[in-house]
């Protein structure tokens, strides 16, 4: 069984046991999280979407809390003495998917 969930403005294809990195979710290591925004469920070839997955839930367990890789933003305009160099690291939570309920 697999599902497509939405969290943090992104969509993830998940199966039980898979570890995914999502935008920060509240909870310490070992805490359980639940994703209610399930877009699609594939149950052994039977695809469920729309109203059929309105009550579906995906449960998971927080593995780690951390920060993602650094994204550098560089702005430059030639001959104008204009240079900007900024960096950003997004807060990330690693979640192990435990079960998918329809």
pTM: 0.84
**For residue 93, which phi and psi values (nearest 5 degrees)?**
-120, 130
Rounded to an integer, the average pLDDT of 37-62 is 94
Query: Residue 51 has which token pair?
Result: 């109203």
Taken as a whole, the chain contains a residue count of 102
Rounded to an integer, the average pLDDT of 6-27 is 96
- Cα gap 101→53, rounded to integer Å: 9
Q: What is the pLDDT of residues 54-83, one digit of tens each?
A: 999 999 999 999 999 999 999 999 999 999
Tell me what pLDDT residue 3 has: 96
Average pLDDT, the chain: 95
Contact 66, 87 (CB under 8 A): no
Tell me what pLDDT residue 84 has: 97
């Amino acid at each position: 069984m697999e599902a497509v969930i939405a969290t943090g403005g992104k969509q993830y294809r998940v199966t039980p046991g898979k570890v995914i990195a999502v935008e920060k979710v509240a909870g310490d290591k070992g805490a359980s999280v639940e994703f209610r925004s399930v877009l699609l469920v594939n149950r052994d070839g039977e695809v469920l979407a729309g109203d059929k997955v309105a009550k579906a839930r995906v449960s998971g367990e927080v593995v780690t809390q951390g920060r993602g890789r650094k994204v550098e933003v560089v702005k430059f305009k030639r001959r104008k003495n204009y240079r900007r160099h900024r960096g950003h690291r997004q807060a990330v939570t690693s979640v192990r998917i435990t079960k998918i309920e329809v």
